[in-house]
Amino acid sequence: MSAPAIRHGGPSGRLPTRQGNHFMLTAEPPGRSFATSATTPNVPKTSLPSYPGMHHLYSRPFRGEPQFLGVSSSSHILPSALHGQEDRRWNSMRSHSHRPPLLSLRGRPPQLQPLLAPSAPAIGFARQVSSTSEMQMSRTSDHQSPIPLRNFGNTCYMNATIQCILHSPWLFSSLAEAHAWSKRRLATSALLELGAARVDAPGQLLLTVKGEAAKFNAEFQDNGQSDAHEFLRTFLFVVHSEINTSGGHNTPYEELKEVENESEEEAMRRWQEHYLRVDNSIIYDLFGGVMRSSCVCSSCGKVSLTFDPFLDLSLPMIPGARKAATIESMLKISFDEAEEKLRGGNQLLCARCRRLRNGTRSVKIIRWPKILVLHLKRFDDTGKKNSEPVVFPESFMTHGNSPMQYQLYGVVCHSGSENWGHYTSYVRTFSGRWYYCNDAVISLSTVTEAMQALTTAYILFYAVK
């Protein structure tokens, strides 16, 4: 096979240019991008709509909600930690008489509590995946239920997302270590305080989180309704920027030279060393994976490889499906079976032929993250919402040479349409309890209820077992 040409970012057909600490297509406007969601090559990026209208607090069951689809709950659960204090009680909120109704196919994502990260310092993508025993050891013995979060008018998108982040395994002990030496850390400090055993002013902390996100993304500067996935990407980038141990956008530009007859493994190693000189933080250590794009010239057979990091994977809905899609099938279609033909205005620029050529492009996940975030692209490029059911298991195994087993711990749900809506979430605590989080209303739930959010599930959070 011809020696692969290494390129950082940018699909085939156009040469990437350096902008900040990222390589981007020359056709794109300058400026550093916080959007690190991975999308499939042949699917245009979706511009998710802002939802005007009023915030809906569903205080009674939703009439006419669809029937449940048959989904069996897996027997696998995340290893529970040693039993400590009982969950904090929000008795008035947990009573069934005050329980918020299930919306559009009851999907209440499981609640997980902030898992403490291993004490070893972060080493970026080179860090090895923790075992189940390490996962147990990293957890706090103080098992607490989720804290109620105030809605400031239209901030349900932030509350639902923050609840899942707060219950992400390994995150908080790692953030605490990074927090000790970080200079500017407003977002990180607020997140750590929200995950503390005692939270004195959660409302003020949420405003701090929103304010820091607004500095990077104007979408969050006002009090209008926004998209939960957009907030997730923005907030993770903000925290990453605060605790980044590398040079970030100040890193001098360095072009990776092509090495003749270099193996894919060596090409990957060189790219990783280069990348970690720019971006290296707990965020990428836990949420970050690596995607490899392979472009093959139809004329000379030259292979060009592109390696791209991602913090979440955006999965397009399967059009015209006769039965409910599954996340396994969506991952397989997007990253195992998809091969894009590069023709016409989408030809690749072959480095050997030195001209545009026909070719093919395929995308593979070559390094799976510890925390896998899956974004279901329910909104198309016109803003129309797709509410078809998507089946997601409590645990599943990835495909490929190095399969990973993942366990569900959080779900962000969107109920409504493209014109109005409301975000809620399910999370799983370290003690194994599931909770439904509807802003300031917290109620006990089950993993079965969470997995029945087939038509409302929007963002899924999985941790490696």
pLDDT at position 177: 78
Mean pLDDT (whole number) for 386-412: 93
Domain extent at residue 212: 5-464
| Residue 269, pLDDT above cutoff 80 | yes
Place of tokens 């490029």: 381
Task: Please tell me the total count of domains within the chain.
Answer: 1
- How much of the chain, in percent, has pLDDT values that exceed 70? 65
Please answer whether residues 78 and 428 qualify as being in contact, where contact means their C-beta atoms are separated by less than 8 angstroms: yes
| Residue 364, pLDDT above cutoff 80 | yes
Between 110 and 295, residue with greater pLDDT = 295
Average pLDDT over the chain reads 73
pLDDT at position 113: 31
Q: Residue 215: what residue type?
A: K
pLDDT at position 439: 97
Mean pLDDT (whole number) for 207-214: 96
Is 1 exposed, middle or buried, given 0-12, 13-18 or 19+ CB atoms closer than 10 A? exposed
CA-nearest of 311, 462, 455 to 393 is: 462
d(CA 419, CA 243): 37
Report the range out of 169-183, 240-254, 363-377 with the highest average pLDDT.
Answer: 363-377
| Residue 8, pLDDT above cutoff 50 | no
pLDDT at position 227: 96
d(CA 57, CA 153): 10
Mean pLDDT (whole number) for 400-418: 92
Between 332 and 11, residue with greater pLDDT = 332
CA-nearest of 199, 9, 188 to 88 is: 199
pLDDT at position 408: 98
Between 95-104, 279-288, 290-299, the lowest mean confidence (pLDDT) is in 95-104
User: Per the structure block, which two tokens stand in for 292?
Assistant: 């490899």
Between 418 and 59, residue with greater pLDDT = 418
| Residue 426, pLDDT above cutoff 60 | yes
pLDDT at position 430: 84
3-state secondary structure 1-40: CCCCEEEECCCCCCCEEEECCEEEECCCCCCCCCCCEECC
DSSP 137-174: HTS-SB--PPPP----SS-HHHHHHHHHHHT-TTHHHH
pLDDT at position 258: 67
CATH number at residue 368: 3.90.70.10
**pLDDT grade for 154, boundaries at 50, 70 and 90:** very high
| Residue 343, pLDDT above cutoff 90 | yes
| Residue 370, pLDDT above cutoff 70 | yes
| Residue 16, pLDDT above cutoff 80 | no
